[in-house]
Amino acid sequence: MAASDRCCVRWTIVWRAAWVAAVYILSFSNLAVATGSAGKLAAAETTKGLSITRQPYGKMPDGTPVELYTLTNSHGLKAEVINYGAMLIGLHAPDQHGNTANITLHLDNLEQYLAGHPLFGCIVGRYANRIANARFVIDGQQYELAANSGRNHIHGGKMGFHRYVWKAEAVEQADRVGVRLSHTSPDGDEGYPGKLDVTKTYWLTQGNELQMEYVAVTDKPTHVNLTNHAYWNLAGAGSGDVLAHELMINADYYLPVDAGKIPQGKPAPVKDTPMDFTTPHTIGSRIAQVPGGYDHCYVLNKKRGEKLTLCARVAEPTSGRVMEVWTTEPGVQLYTANGMRVKRPDGSLRYGNHGGLCLECQHFPDSPNRPDFPSTLLRPGQKYYQLTIHKFSVK
């Protein structure tokens, strides 16, 4: 064989080897993102400027590992999710000057979360909000739930969904990246009938949207009402209270409640009351007229056949950050962290009174006992589905 031919063969072999190696590396990277294989994942950049990483976050007392998933886009938006409680522990967003801050209330590590917290960023279930007298009737049979709010039931009971380590995997689509979390609640869990399989997926898009998608199925009739309990402070977590935030809620009615926060009577109009956010007002402008502060469910204005509805818009004047919330749910619970006192390990105050606001998209409180409310009953063969979107911008 001539020297030139031998040289050509060698270059062909080298080129083929390099090509095979590149394909193998790319395939392995994509497989790691799709399956959530063990270990720390390097960023898997997509053609849309999106990426996802995974790394250890700590271990539960029984040794179960907890993982942190980080979703980013090319506009500086970053979401951080751990699979303990399917919890959003970070949403980092730029302000009008390009300075980034974490705008959801959070703690520093897993040990602090395990020590207790007011549901920062958690999924809440099986039933978000309250059920009167911790009981309901399905098809003539009464079910007794855990009473963990006086005589009432709240946020899934003593061992709600926020206290479990969820299975997690990284997922990717052409226009978004995310983390899919799944949990199975057994028949009889906290008194609820039926085995319930739940999936929640956090998606981050290049359009600066954090999408929260929920799916659940059951093998017996049961009630389901899921939400996320993130506390937002658009000036930055720990920067003070949210009383100067301007809020609009797309709701002409709200649900009056008794001392136990159980709805009483029919929805009431917000017009000419301190509950009215149909036009933007600062949260602090009328909060003194609301005994105890805002902790009420609003009935969203939904057109017939409309699925995804504008729920609320929040703007923070010093940073210029704006958050819009869209949802498929009929209601939203406004909670202004009334009386909050969350301390650091050294005893100093981390988050004080009104240090954040919650906009918990959900069905109405006590719907299992209120046939006049939209039903939360899920039967075998049906699928519970919810989509809630948080869209971030600056002005």
By DSSP bridging, strand 209-218 and strand 196-205 are antiparallel
Give the Cα separation of 8 and 160 in Å (integer).
67
The catalytic residues are 229, 360
Q: What single-letter DSSP state applies at residue 43?
A: P
User: Where are the alpha helices (H) located in the chain, listed in sequence order?
Assistant: 3-35, 110-114
C-alpha 189/C-alpha 194 separation (Å) is 8
Backbone region of residue 311 per phi and psi (left: phi > 0; alpha: psi in -120 to 50; beta: other values): alpha
CB neighbour list of residue 269: distance below 8 Å, 6 or more residues apart: 252, 253
**CB contact at 8 A, 187 and 193:** yes
Strand-pairing partners, residue 324, are 313, 391
CA-wise closest residue to 80 among 36, 49, 35, 121: 121
Q: Which residue stretches of 36-147 are H helix?
A: 110-114
Closest CA to 119 of 358, 347, 362: 358
Q: Which two tokens stand for residue 389?
A: 């979107």
DSSP three-state, residue 285: helix
Q: How far is the C-alpha of 240 from the C-alpha of 243, rounded, in Å?
A: 9
